[in-house]
Structure 1
Amino acid sequence: MKLFSKEQIYEGDKLTAERQNITSTDLMERAGTQIFNWMHARMQGAQVPIHVFCGIGNNGGDGLVLARHLITHGYNVATYIVNCSDKRSKDFLVNYDRIKNVTKTWPTMLSCKEEFADIQIGADDIIVDAIFGIGLNRPPNDWVKALFQKFKASKAFTLSIDMPSGLYSDKAVEDDDAVVFAGYTLSFQSPKLVFFLPKTEKYTTQWEVLDIGIDRDYLMQTETEVELISKHEVLPIYQPRKKFAHKGDFGHVMILGGSYGKIGAVNLASRAALSAGAGLVTAYTPKCGYHSLQTAIPEVMVITDDSETHISNINFEIEPTVIGVGVGLGTSEETVNAIEAFLKKNKTALVIDADGLNIIAQNKSLLKLLPKQTVLTPHLKELERLVGQWTDDFDMLKRVKAFSEKYNVIVLIKGAHSITVNKNKLYINTTGNPGMATAGSGDVLTGVISGLIAQNYSPLAATIFGVYLHGKSGDISIEDYGYQSLIARHIIETLGEAYIDLFKQPEQQQEDNQQEPEQKKQ
């Protein structure tokens, strides 16, 4: 799914009006009606007090359309105009006149100066936030900030239209108290980038996209900087196997890593590479890893370093398709020197994680030795070591995009919504859960991505697809283990189910979910 920028949304609205021969007021009516339909389907006429707070721009106009439909359908509605400026939009004024025609109780005008203590909002009420939307370009004033705090203190369910008011679409928030904390956000046509960033996702607990009929050609043909990755996006990436295929068709992964006490990381990455579909996997480790790996994973071949405890001299005669570097590696001086010597002569595709990243961060000149489209998989602290400290999430993305462009590498920012960065393009993953915040989960991901590259997926496709499969496997695993008890090996064990899930239709998925509790009882 494409995530459109603020400017693209405005352009889409304009083109839709032109191509569909409608006015901007008609489009606003369509948007507000869709919000009403969403609420009406869930409330079915329930007489819960609904407080609709409208700004004086187009977001406020959407709120007025909603309020008018709620009133005409008999809901218990109070409408307020947050009137902090004289710059009212044309479509707002049209809908202000329309709502006055359907009720004797006109919207309450809040001048942004007087007290609003007489506005009573109960914990069981509903607040609709239609104040700013995506158009905000400066911090809300102190009066509006106090209003937002009143929303929060009321503990009422808060529904934001398009995006929580006070939240910018393209820059960081200066003050948490100046943002509406929404229980739910109804976003027009596509979600917003800020719903997925570490510091701004907290402003909406849940979100949903409403289709308001923006011109289909515009949506299909417009290139966006950000894409949201779900099953629909990864299905076209999947490469089916031919009947007469053999293991040589699916590449050879080498997992290069491990040190005394950390051979388990190599075990996990090697298992994951096999389970992701690699034809062959070889582990390159210190001698201390030989017996445990040969015993624990008989399907994996093992080559050992000269050293008993750490990587000291990387030397092998095989020709792997891809090498996953760094899991459990350590950062001893000998290991650092060995990695530098290896990178100077290596021409094979790389996936670099963990201490591989830390070694590069301490020796930035090594970045110039990386093959094109090398995949780097840092968590936030490792990323900071690579690109430097950032001031906010938007500064982080700016730095990572510049870093990716400069060195022609793919950077996977691991997190709740892992983001794959390839130069100026972002791919945000939608699978995964908090249970995956566990030791070894990143090692598994390194193996999955390496296993996909071995099968002739491009590094970018392998990263996007690998992150999706890894997260989906984790989602499947928590059905049996829950968040607290999920461990990395469980993610490997359900990779096959993650693949199978790609081809399940929604009806079949629902049927499986209904049958599952009965099967567990048996």
Structure 2
Amino acid sequence: MKIFNSQQIREIDKATIQQEPVLSINLMERAANQLFEFIAEKFDAKIPVTLFAGPGNNGGDAVALARILADNGYPVFLWLLKIGKNRSPDCQTNIDRLKAYQNIGLLELSDQDEFPAIPTNHLVVEGVFGSGLTRPAEGWPAKVIDFINNLPNPVMSIDIPSGLFSEDNRQNSGSIIAADFTISFEFPKLAFLLPENEKYVGEWHAKSIGLLPKAIHETPTAYHYTQPEDLPKIEQRKRFAHKGNFGHALLVAGSYGKTGAAVLAARACIRSGSGLLSVHIPESSYEILQATIPEAMIVIDETEQLYCRKKELNKYSVAGAGPGIGQKKSMQDGLKMLIDSSVNPLVLDADALNIISLHKEWLENLPEGTIITPHPKEFDRLSNAHKTHFERLESAREMAKKYSINIVLKGAHTAVVTTNGEVHFNSTGNPAMAKGGSGDVLTGIVLGLLSSGYDPFEAAKLGVFVHGKSADLALQQQSEESLIATDIIDHLGMAYKSIRELQ
């Protein structure tokens, strides 16, 4: 699914109106019907609804929704906000249609009026401002937003929380609705996927209003929201396939006291398709790995450097490093040799990234297509400090293009940033994944997919999706408190099957 900026969405709306063709007022009616269907599904039947309608098309959506709610027997109270001199034509048309309605409590509010008392059992729906907002909400509109935010009622925003910009909110000092639910049309806004905006957006849904597929397809964007149909196809293995068809992966992981990281990453790698796996570990971890992962071969040497020599790497199709390796000097030297000796893309995570952050010039030597999987603090150490995730994303896009690498920026909507600067946000996963070991599992999954033949971008995008899907399936049996990284591995098979069934 593509994610567009507000101007692009207006152009797609315009193309739909001209080429479908459809009247803009009827497109507004489609939007209002989608809003109604959400309310009917989410809330108790005939819940009283109080709506705030601004002067633009966002307000027009609110007015049209008020009519549909009234037609279906809901108690409806509509507050028309006097903001600016004029209302949009479609908003005014919907207000004119209210003349036939006697069952809607209607009031116009200006900056001279007192705010209405709203019973706590009402759902509040706000359409004060839409995605076309170009400056922070201040003055009386800000007071309206603050009034709504101080209500104990559940709040639903139409298209976007009023006061929030669709993309970059770094300079936004105005008031912003803190919605419990946001119903966007056709696509999510980029702002919805950034952690700094969670307190405003709440639970969001993108509802289709039938915008023109041709216009959507032909409009370019760097931002995407990954759905099952966007994933590379999970091929059925041929009857005469053998382990050599799916690569031999080398995983450099673990250190004294952190053998668990190696176990988790190795198990996830094998469960994700690698034909052969060799795990490089310190001698202290030998018995643990042999007992817990009999499918893996173990590589032990006296120094971290030995396994990194080019002639040693020739036997492996791909290599990954980082989980639990520590940052001692000998490991730093070994990682440097691994980077310099590798011709194929690497998978690097955790301490591998922390080591590189001490030697940032090494980024220049990463093999083209290498996949790095930092969490925000690890990424900031690789680049610089960022105040917002929007800034971090922009830095990640620049870094990915500069070094021709894929960056998996981990978070609630993990972003896979490609070598050409595209951003693919993940749509699976849940807060229960905020546990130690989850990142080690992701490293193993991505390494397993890369080993079995996926190109680096496909391995990263599919790996992130499968990682989250496995956690979602595990959460059906666990709670957010009890779910652990091992549960994610245990549900990988179900995750792959469920994705294959949708393709």
* 1:487 to 1:45, Cα distance in 2 relative to 1, 3 A: closer
Is residue 2:61 matched to residue 1:67? no
Contact 1:259-1:311 within 8 A present in 2 as well:
no
Q: What pairs up with 1:122-201 in 2 under 5 angstroms?
A: 122-172=119-169, 178-201=175-198
Write the distance in 2 (CA, Å) between the matches of 1:115 and 1:312: 78
Write the distance in 1 (CA, Å) between the matches of 2:464 and 2:409: 11
User: Where does the alignment leave 5 or more consecutive residues of structure 2 unmatched?
Assistant: none
1:116 counterpart residue number: 114
Secondary structure at 1:484 match in 2: coil
Write the distance in 2 (CA, Å) between the matches of 1:41 and 1:444: 36
Write the distance in 1 (CA, Å) between the matches of 2:85 and 2:305: 69
* 1:363 to 1:87, Cα distance in 2 relative to 1, 3 A: farther
Q: Paired residue for 2:315, among 319, 333, 338?
A: 319
* 1:403 to 1:174, Cα distance in 2 relative to 1, 3 A: same
1:516 counterpart residue number: none
C-alpha displacement of 1:289? 2.4
Contact 2:167-2:189 within 8 A present in 1 as well:
no
Write the distance in 2 (CA, Å) between the matches of 1:492 and 1:43: 36
C-alpha displacement of 1:413? 0.8
Write the distance in 2 (CA, Å) between the matches of 1:131 and 1:491: 42
Is residue 2:23 matched to residue 1:11? no
Identity of aligned residues (%): 37
* 1:275 to 1:33, Cα distance in 2 relative to 1, 3 A: closer
Write the distance in 2 (CA, Å) between the matches of 1:313 and 1:278: 19
Is residue 2:361 matched to residue 1:381? no
Secondary structure at 1:420 match in 2: strand
Secondary structure at 1:341 match in 2: helix
Contact 2:3-2:188 within 8 A present in 1 as well:
yes
1:27 counterpart residue number: 27
Q: What pairs up with 1:285-324 in 2 under 5 angstroms?
A: 285-307=281-303, 314-315=308-309, 316=312, 318-324=314-320
C-alpha displacement of 1:74? 4.0
Deviations 1:85-140 (A, max 9, x none): 114322222222222343497842222x22424x0112210111111121111111
Contact 1:258-1:266 within 8 A present in 2 as well:
yes
* 1:481 to 1:141, Cα distance in 2 relative to 1, 3 A: same
Secondary structure at 1:335 match in 2: helix
Q: Paired residue for 1:243, among 215, 239, 246?
A: 239
Write the distance in 2 (CA, Å) between the matches of 1:464 and 1:430: 11
Write the distance in 1 (CA, Å) between the matches of 2:165 and 2:393: 15
Letter in 2 for 1:114: Q
Number of aligned residues? 500
2:207 counterpart residue number: 210
* 1:271 to 1:55, Cα distance in 2 relative to 1, 3 A: same
C-alpha displacement of 1:73? 4.0
Q: Paired residue for 1:351, among 347, 351, 362?
A: 347
2:87 counterpart residue number: 88
Write the distance in 1 (CA, Å) between the matches of 2:255 and 2:45: 65
C-alpha displacement of 1:311? 6.4
* 1:496 to 1:381, Cα distance in 2 relative to 1, 3 A: same
2:36 counterpart residue number: 36
Letter in 1 for 2:475: I
Scaled by the length of structure 1, the TM-score of the pair is: 0.90
* 1:122 to 1:352, Cα distance in 2 relative to 1, 3 A: same
Letter in 2 for 1:240: Q
Q: Which moved more, 1:132-141 or 1:75-84?
A: 75-84
Is residue 2:416 matched to residue 1:416? no
Scaled by the length of structure 2, the TM-score of the pair is: 0.93
Deviations 1:181-235 (A, max 9, x none): 222222111122222211112323322222212112222333332222233322x
1:461 counterpart residue number: 458
Write the distance in 2 (CA, Å) between the matches of 1:312 and 1:197: 42
Contact 2:195-2:389 within 8 A present in 1 as well:
yes
Secondary structure at 2:299 match in 1: strand
Write the distance in 2 (CA, Å) between the matches of 1:103 and 1:488: 58
Secondary structure at 2:288 match in 1: helix
Contact 2:313-2:342 within 8 A present in 1 as well:
no
Write the distance in 1 (CA, Å) between the matches of 2:391 and 2:86: 31
Letter in 1 for 2:488: I
CA RMSD, 1 decimal: 2.3
* 1:355 to 1:64, Cα distance in 2 relative to 1, 3 A: same
Write the distance in 2 (CA, Å) between the matches of 1:38 and 1:476: 25
Deviations 1:251-309 (A, max 9, x none): 111001322222221121111111111000001122222232223212111111314xx
Letter in 2 for 1:441: S
Q: Paired residue for 2:274, among 266, 272, 278?
A: 278
C-alpha displacement of 1:65? 1.4
Write the distance in 2 (CA, Å) between the matches of 1:322 and 1:502: 25
Deviations 1:423-465 (A, max 9, x none): 3211111211222111111111101100000111011000111
Q: What pairs up with 1:416-435 in 2 under 5 angstroms?
A: 416-422=412-418, 423-435=420-432
User: Where does the alignment leave 5 or more consecutive residues of structure 1 unmatched?
Assistant: 507-522
Secondary structure at 2:13 match in 1: helix
1:100 counterpart residue number: 99
2:51 counterpart residue number: 52
Write the distance in 2 (CA, Å) between the matches of 1:367 and 1:187: 39
* 1:115 to 1:168, Cα distance in 2 relative to 1, 3 A: same
1:391 counterpart residue number: 387
Secondary structure at 1:60 match in 2: helix
Secondary structure at 2:436 match in 1: coil
